[in-house]
Amino acid sequence: MEYDVIYIGSGNAAWQGGRFLRKEGLKILIVEESLYGGACANRGCNSKALLDAPYEIKALTNNFESVGKSGDFDVDWPALMKYKQKRIAGMSIFLDGKFDEYDLDVAHGKGVILDEHTVQVGDRKFTTDKIVICTGLKPIKPDIPGKQYLHDSTDFLDIAELPRHTIIIGAGFVGMEFASILAEAGLTADVIVRGNMALKFFHQPYVQNVIDILKGKGIKFHFNQTVKEITSDVEIENPEDKVLNTVQGMNSDESLRDPEAKIDNVAHEDAFTVNCDSGLSLRGDYVIAAMGREANVEDIGLENVGLTYTKSGIKVNGHLQTEVPNIYASGDVADTGVAKLVTVAIHHSKYLAKELLGKADEITYPVVPAVAYTIPRIATVGVPAYIAQDSEEYDVHTIRYGRSYSLELKNDLTAEAKVIVDKNLQIVGAEIYAANAENVANMFAFIINKKITLEELDYMIYAFPSSSSVCLYKLHNIHYDL
């Protein structure tokens, strides 16, 4: 069967652009071996957002301690998990319907590239003019003794009961966000960090604020540590029974089985010991590998066309084109040097649709906001403060809008932003530390991308009270004071 474009993977890096190509008359095939929609829809972003939200609300209620709060806000994790599983179970089915609506063909199974124009899925072979690899990333697992006891983010986001004491290896997005949930749940954890900082791409004073909050709620941090082994008092029984995913088209009680599955996805009280090279030894109920993610490209036939890759993905040029001219990479699996976020994957996919139609120059990127969904949130967009502080080209202004507008921000006294401006007083970057930092970051992304001046911001009228308006009103001081 012949196609104009075959996408290997069905996440946002694929279908967002595939639908536009189909609208232009191209014949499109999407190949998916697991759930339609990929990691973000089924095992990542959506699940995390749903499970995190009640704990965020719980933290916000603490702003009213002694000023109106009565009683405690508790989260029922098992009930929340059942709700999450019900909601997420429908995502793949929903997207299957969307693919049908967009007239996109789908082949369910592992896609393997046989040559520059042929992709095999099971016993079927499909020919195509262009191939787009959209297989994303997978969690990094250290090759150490006891690695079978490690759980990843997918496991934690599907666990029936929260562990009493968790050991988290890594302090990036996953490690710090899970630590926030555990802290708000009143549980304890040890976070093992290989280097000397957590969330290294974010403004470190704000990261330290989050660490201090977590420490005060039972989370311990161990920096400059390397895990060498994990041991367990738990006997493994039938590890092949571990459930990975519900396959598209199967009933909810049917599942894929992983022949190299880990120990069952439950907490076992004080059953695991994590030993580090330094001699540090920690015991806990559940161990999470949160050491980042790497390219998910094993066994998809890259060697058949001479393509190589690193942990960062497949190298592409400014057209998202690999070293094989008719094969492209889109989303997290593309090594572009740009942040690996679902928003960037969507940007790739839409660009690639234009590129494949011959309507695009080299890809460009607007400023990309990134958010660590800790409690409270941390966000960064544009020129980071650590670069601006060491450069004569920029000035960094601290906007403590929470302190000035605590009543309007629901008693959030600590909301703050570092705003970076160039010598022409043009805003070029921002770091935000606040309960709703993601929304303020989006505001700054718009300001920076559209090059809205401080004078223009000063002229506008905003809805008040709101987190964006009070931050913007404090921005006026930069305009007036200089």
**Per-domain boundaries in the chain:** 2-137+295-356, 147-291, 376-481
Residue 240 DSSP one-character state? G
Residue 481 pLDDT: 54
| SS3 track for 300-325 | CCHHHHCCCCECCEEECCCCCECCCC
Class of domain 376-481: alpha beta
Pick the CATH number of 147-291 from 3.50.50.60, 3.40.50.970, 3.30.1280.10, 3.10.20.70: 3.50.50.60
CA–CA dist 74, 301 (Å, integer): 49
CB 431 within 8 A of CB 453: no
Fold match between domain 147-291 and domain 376-481: no
Residue 244 pLDDT: 40
CA–CA dist 432, 399 (Å, integer): 9
CB 133 within 8 A of CB 330: yes
235-248 pLDDT, tens per residue? Answer: 755 444 443 443 33
* Cα first-last separation, the chain: 66
Task: From 46, 34, 41, select the one nearest 9 (Cα to Cα).
Answer: 34
CB atoms within 10 A of CB 444: 28
Regarding pTM above 0.85, the answer is yes
CA–CA dist 341, 314 (Å, integer): 16
Estimate to the nearest angstrom the gap between the alpha carbon of 222 and the chain centroid: 23
Residue 474 pLDDT: 87
Instruction: Detail the DSSP E strand segments found in 409-449.
Output: 416-422, 427-434
CA–CA dist 251, 254 (Å, integer): 6
CA–CA dist 44, 137 (Å, integer): 11
Residue 437 pLDDT: 95
SS3 category, 355: helix
At 327, give phi and psi (nearest 5°): -115, 130
**Residues of the chain with pLDDT > 70: what percent?**
93
Pick the CATH number of 2-137+295-356 from 3.30.56.10, 3.50.50.60, 3.90.1170.50, 3.60.20.10: 3.50.50.60
**Residues of the chain with pLDDT > 90: what percent?**
82
CB 275 within 8 A of CB 226: no
Residue 292 pLDDT: 95
Task: From 439, 430, 433, select the one nearest 469 (Cα to Cα).
Answer: 439
Beta-bridge partner residues of 421: 395, 427
Tens-level pLDDT at each residue, the chain (482 residues): 699 999 999 999 999 999 999 999 999 999 999 999 988 889 899 999 999 999 999 999 998 988 888 998 999 999 999 999 999 999 999 999 999 999 999 999 999 999 999 999 999 999 999 999 999 999 999 999 999 999 999 999 999 999 999 999 999 999 999 999 999 999 999 999 999 999 999 999 999 999 999 999 999 999 999 999 999 998 755 444 443 443 333 333 333 334 345 567 899 998 999 999 999 999 999 999 999 999 999 999 999 999 999 999 999 999 999 999 999 999 999 999 999 999 999 999 999 999 999 999 999 999 999 999 999 999 999 999 999 999 999 999 999 999 888 878 888 899 999 999 999 989 999 999 999 999 999 999 999 999 999 989 989 999 998 888 999 888 877 766 54
Task: From 342, 332, 389, select the one nearest 368 (Cα to Cα).
Answer: 342
61-80 pLDDT, tens per residue? Answer: 998 988 888 998 999 999 99
Give the strand pairing for 334-335 and 314-315.
Answer: parallel
CA–CA dist 236, 259 (Å, integer): 14
Estimate to the nearest angstrom the gap between the alpha carbon of 345 and the chain centroid: 11
At 176, give phi and psi (nearest 5°): -75, -35
Joined together, the tokens standing for residue 27 give: 């014949």
CB 13 within 8 A of CB 348: yes
CB 232 within 8 A of CB 271: yes
Q: Which residues contact 242 (CB under 8 A, 6 or more apart)?
A: 257, 258, 261, 262, 263, 264, 265
- 377-408 as b/e: b if 16+ CB within 10 A: bbbbbbbbbbebeeeeebbbbebebbebbbeb
Residue 263 pLDDT: 61
Residue 158 pLDDT: 96
Estimate to the nearest angstrom the gap between the alpha carbon of 52 and the chain centroid: 13
